[in-house]
Amino acid sequence: MKICFFHLMPYRFLPDDFEERYRSVWVDVPHGLHDAEKTHGLYHEYLDELEYAEQVGFDGLCVNEHHNNAYGLMPSPNLMAAALTRRTSRAALVVLGNSLAAYNPPLRVAEEFAMIDVLSRGRLVAGFPVGTSMDMNFAYGINPATLRDRYYEAHDLIIQAWTRPEVFAFNGTYTQVRYVNIWPQPLQKPHPPVWIPGGGSVETWEWTAKLDYVYCYLSYYGYKRGKLTMDGFWQAIARLGADDNPYRAGFLQLVCVADTDAEAERLYFPHVHYFYQKCLNVWEGFAEAPGYRTVQSLQAGLRPQIGAQAKKIRQSLTWPRYLEQGYVIAGSPATVRQQLTECIETLRVGHLMVLLQIGSMPKDLALHNTGLFAREVMPHVRDLWSGYKDRWWPAGVTNGDPGAGRPLAPGTPLALGTSPPPGHAS
Amino acid sequence: MTPEDRIVSIREGAVAFRVLSAGRGAPLVYFHSFHERGGWSPFLERLARRHTVHAPLHPGVAGSTGVETLDDVFDLTLAYDELLEALGLTAAHFCGHFFGGMVAAELAAVFPRRAGRLVLVSPLGLWRDEAPSEDILILPPEDLLSVLWSDPGSEAARRWAELPENDAQNVAAQIESIARRAAMAKFIWPIPDRGLTKRLHRIRAPALVLWGDADRVNPVVYAEEWQRCIKGAAVKMLRGGHMLIHEAPEAAARAVEEFLA
């Protein structure tokens, strides 16, 4: 079992009445709400949290890409991954990912990922999302009708740029390059493992399965609702006659650990609520540009995660509802262990990603949650799927897995992150 | 009257247009926009009294196929030229609403000899930073109603807003709406400016620009812009909103007929 620490890097200081006054946290959220001095502090706080996750034994550290977004301050996750290469040395750097169609030419992704792979000595997981409609169609102006075609073509170009021994010409519909020849080449051979974050589109399941990549469902709505999507993926795998190795799959789950169930509510509810009420407040009109999803996927009946309907559901959420729906797995270590095992087993995921810094959660609490998770939960799920081989894991990683960097034994004092750089306000 | 309903293919079937046709008289081709369900309407019914009206559905909409093979607006314009050829029309009057107005103007600019007279109803295709047209491709249904129609309570508006109560039909209607908008979005995303201003001087056809005085989608400043770009174009304002031709089909058809006469 591989367990990765996922960070969204949310802006923690949205006004209390944000969701009443502003229609969307994404795309047209006014940047007058943003204070760069505060974000300076946040970036270092969040990097500290990621570095701490390596220290306490997480297998991987995940960063991702969003644009025009107040809950994701990482338009370039590559910059964060590059920063992490300097102060981590054992964990996988899982960049989930670079939305390929947004890069012109997409060779930029091949180059930057190769740089991170070389810098980190082979610890990169290369995430290739199509990208959300908000990011791609609205924030970056990419035509929904051709987004997927662009994506597939960019993918082909990148893989060729990483694997073909010769300088070659690429004559694509969207990209034409006479001399493809990237320096440096990635350190991992034939190339870093590829993970595909998807939102539940039928085409993505089949494409991912065909190319033998990892499929990751990055949902904010938990394992109970995620089952439909993961089942769809596993059905696509079965249709193609591939094996059902759980490491083909990744899933993101929000988790809050405390000493007791009651303590979990007291500590985490305001931050979880901030996340669902403010961070997921996306205007319905931005939920999905016409043409973003194919008719085939629309007919499969999978609705967008966000929008007016979702807003109504969200607004009625109380702590017991968050738990009951499985949006958040929260409570004492025993409660979390039990539910997380259920999550891992029912979805059949070998790469679990956990979101432990949630919404407005400050650093001390995020570290508390992370430390408790590592000490009290991680060791108990670690051995799930031990009969399977993870063929999608970076060659240079030594954290977590047997042989190196096992999680700290219970009771080991937890070192809090390395000291922040001078001038860092937290 | 029930229009003739047929499929006309070009490019060895790569693009197939569903074309609704009815009426008698000089040929008139009508190009629809985002929010017209089905290809026929009382407005066209009235025009068909004195013209042979052909109303093709854009590729990707309601039975017309092949939008995925069309690269851009130029390719779409060529496809329409090929459709006219297939229909045996050397020339015809063109009329288009919003997106359809843009298509009609492109066609009249790229193939000036094809256009007899040109009627543009609140056309899309020009862009002014200080007066963007409303983003009606993505507006949620409840906001759309009051933006499209000058009187959201009118019978035409209410009929337009109705969705089937039956679940399966309701879902099918939503998917149809998304697919219809997606088919046109391809040619104008993210900003409906494909350099048409540089081509409008090529138009030879006499042109009428028709606008609803309560159009909340396409600011009236664009009417002046169109008039400036197409030499000799007339502008006529009628009472109504963006859906003018559906709110006031009789008045709109009369204005068109007077211009074509």
pLDDT at site B207: 98
pLDDT, tens digit, for every residue of A31-65? 999 999 999 999 999 999 999 999 999 999 999 99
Does B166 fall in a domain?
no
Mutate to test the interface with B, among A134, A143, A149 (most CBs of B within 10 A): A143
Task: Measure CB to CB from residue B175 to each of A141, A284, A298 and give the nearest one.
Answer: A298
Mean pLDDT across A184-191: 97
Which secondary structure element, helix H or strand E, spans residue A63, and what is its range?
A: strand A60-63
C-alpha distance from A28 to closest chain B C-alpha (Å): 13
A109 contact B CB<8A = no
Look at residue B87 and tell me if it is in a domain: yes
Tell me what pLDDT residue A308 has.
59
pLDDT at residue A307 in the model: 52
Nearest residue, CB atoms, B185 vs list A141, A291, A298: A291
Distance CA B200, CA B198 (A): 6
Contact with chain B for residue A299, Cβ under 8 A? yes
Contact yes or no for A291 and B182 at CB 8 A: yes
- Say what the pLDDT of residue B167 is: 81
- Write out chain B residues lying below 8 Å of A301, CB-based: 171
Of the candidates A143, A295, A298, the beta carbon closest to that of B186 is on A143
Alpha-carbon span B236 to B251, nearest angstrom: 11
Q: What CATH number corresponds to the domain at position B90?
A: 3.40.50.1820
Secondary structure (DSSP) of B59-104: TTSTT-B-GGG--SHHHHHHHHHHHHHHTT-SSEEEEEETHHHHHH
Q: Is residue B165 very low, low, confident or very high in pLDDT (cuts 50, 70, 90)?
A: confident
Cα–Cα dist B145/B151, whole Å: 9
pLDDT grade for B142, boundaries at 50, 70 and 90: confident
Rounded CA-CA distance B234/B102 in Å is 17
B160 contacts: CB under 8 Å, gap ≥ 6? B35, B37, B145, B148, B149, B243, B246
Task: Identify the closest residue of chain A to B191 by CA–CA distance.
Answer: A141
Does residue B159 fall inside a structural domain?
Answer: no
B147 within some domain: no
Which residues of chain A are within 8 Å of residue B135 when distances are taken between CB atoms?
A: 285
- Cα separation, A292 vs A144, whole angstroms: 5
ipTM score over 0.90, yes or no: yes
Pairwise CB contact (< 8 Å): A286 & B138: yes
Contact yes or no for B204/B115 (Cβ under 8 A): yes
Calculate mean pLDDT across residues B38-61: 96
For range B132-143, the mean pLDDT: 94
Q: What pLDDT, on a 0 to 100 scale, did the predictor assign at position A297?
A: 81
Q: In this structure, how many other beta carbons lie within 10 angstroms of the beta carbon of residue A133?
A: 25
Cβ-nearest to A290 among B171, B185, B191: B185
B42 within a domain of the structure (yes/no): yes
Q: Is residue B218 part of a domain?
A: yes
Report the pLDDT averaged over residues B75-101. Answer: 98
pLDDT at residue number A348: 98
Residues of A in contact with B140 (CB under 8 A): 284-285, 308
Work out the number of other CB atoms within 10 angstroms of the CB of residue A88.
Answer: 22
Do B135 and A285 count as a contact with CB atoms less than 8 A apart? yes
CB contact under 8 A, B185 and A144: yes
Choose among B135, B138, B182: nearest Cβ to A145: B182
Predicted TM-score (pTM) of this structure = 0.93
Mean pLDDT of chain B: 96
Question: Which chain B residues are within 8 Å of A308, Cβ to Cβ?
Answer: 140
- The alpha-carbon gap from A391 to the nearest alpha carbon of chain B, in Å, equals 36
Mean pLDDT, to the nearest integer, of A23-30?
A: 97
Q: How far apart are CA A393 and CA A397, in angstroms?
A: 8
- Exposed / middle / buried, residue A406 (Cβ in 10 Å: 0-12, 13-18, 19+): middle
Q: Distance (Å, rounded) from C-alpha A172 to C-alpha A184? A: 23
Q: Say yes or no for a CB contact (<8 Å) between A143 and B189.
A: yes
Residues of A in contact with B185 (CB under 8 A): 143-145, 289-291
Position A132 pLDDT exceeds 50: yes
Q: Which amino acid is at B56?
A: P
pLDDT in tens, A307-320: 556 667 777 789 99
Q: Enumerate the β-bridge partners of residue B17.
A: B8
Is the separation of the CB atoms in A257 and A369 below 8 Å? yes
Question: Which string of DSSP letters, residue by residue, matches A238-280?
Answer: HHTT----GGGEEEEEEEEE-SSHHHHHHHHHHHHHHIIIIIT
DSSP B124-191: -----TTSPPP-TTT--HHHHHHHH-S-TTSHHHHHHH---SSHHHHHHHHHHHHHHHHHHHTTT-SS
Tell me how far apart the alpha carbons of residues B78 and B233 are, in angstroms, rounded to a whole number.
24
Contacts of A145 in chain B (CB under 8 A): 67-68, 182, 185-186, 189
A374: which DSSP letter? Answer: I
pLDDT in tens, B5-43: 999 999 999 999 999 999 999 999 999 999 998 889 999
- Given B138, B175, B186, which is nearest A299 (Cβ)? B175
Segment B66-95 shows an average pLDDT of: 98
Nearest to A152 by CA among A128, A176, A126: A128
Residue of A nearest to B139 (CA): A285
Q: What is the pLDDT of residue A403?
A: 39
The shortest CB-CB distance from A145 to any of B175, B178, B186 is to B186
Q: What is the pLDDT of residue A67?
A: 98
Interface test with A, best of B138, B142, B191 (most A CBs within 10 A): B138
Which tens digits make up the pLDDT trace of A366-413? 999 999 999 999 999 999 999 999 999 999 998 865 434 344 444 444
- Position B202 in a domain: yes
Does the CB of A137 have a partner CB in chain B at under 8 Å? yes
Q: How many residues does chain B have?
A: 261
Contact B190 A145 (CB under 8 A): no
Longest dimension (CA), chain B: 51
Q: What is the pLDDT of residue A11?
A: 98
Residues of B in contact with A293 (CB under 8 A): 178
Long-range contacts of A299-307 (CB under 8 A, 24+ apart): A299/B175, A300/A202, A300/A232, A301/B171, A302/A200, A302/A201, A302/A228, A302/A229, A305/A199, A305/A219, A305/A220, A305/A221, A306/A280, A306/A282, A307/A282
Q: Count of CB atoms within 10 A of residue B52's CB? A: 17
CB contact under 8 A, B186 and A308: no
A and B: number of Cβ contacts within 8 A: 57
N- to C-terminal Cα separation, chain A: 34
> In total, how many domains does chain B have?
1
Residue B157 counted as domain residue: no
Best of A146, A152, A174 to substitute, by most chain B Cβ atoms within 10 angstroms, is A146
Q: Which residues lie across from B95 on neighbouring strands?
A: B30, B119
Judged by a CB distance cut-off of 8 A, whether residue A284 touches chain B is: yes
pLDDT in tens, A241-296: 999 999 999 999 999 999 999 999 999 999 999 999 999 999 999 999 999 988 88
Roughly how many angstroms between the first and final C-alpha of chain B, as a whole number?
23
Which residue in the block uniquely carries the two structure tokens 């997981």? A125
Q: What is the per-residue burial (b if ≥16 Cβ within 10 Å, else e) of A37-50?
A: eebebbbbbbbbbb
Which pLDDT does position A309 carry in this prediction? 65
Q: Identify the burial level of B192 via C-beta atoms within 10 angstroms of its C-beta, where 0-12 means exposed, 13-18 middle and 19 or more buried.
A: buried
Q: A296: nearest CA in chain B?
A: B175
**Burial degree of A187 (CB within 10 A; 0-12, 13-18, 19+):** buried
pLDDT exceeds 90 at position A144: yes
Q: Which of B137, B179, B190 lies at the smallest CB-CB distance from A295?
A: B179
Largest CA distance in chain A: 63
Residue A331, H or E segment: strand A328-331
pLDDT in tens, A86-105: 999 999 999 999 999 999 99
What letters, b where the CB count within 10 A reaches 16 and e where it falls short, cover B93-127?
A: bbbbbbbbbbbbbbbbbbbeebbbbbbbbbbbbbb
Look up the domain containing B249 and give its range.
4-129+189-260
pLDDT of residue A301: 66
pLDDT at A2 over 60: yes
Residue B166 has pLDDT above 70, yes or no: yes
To the nearest whole angstrom, how far is the Cα of A288 from the nearest Cα of chain B?
A: 8
Tell me the domains of chain A and their CATH numbers. Answer: 2-399 (3.20.20.30)
φ/ψ (deg, to 5) at A33:
-80, -10
A250: Cβ contacts below 8 Å, ≥ 6 apart: A4, A195, A197, A214, A215, A216, A217, A349, A350, A351, A352, A353
pLDDT higher than threshold 50 for residue A223: yes
Give the distance from CA B30 to its chain's centroid. Answer: 7
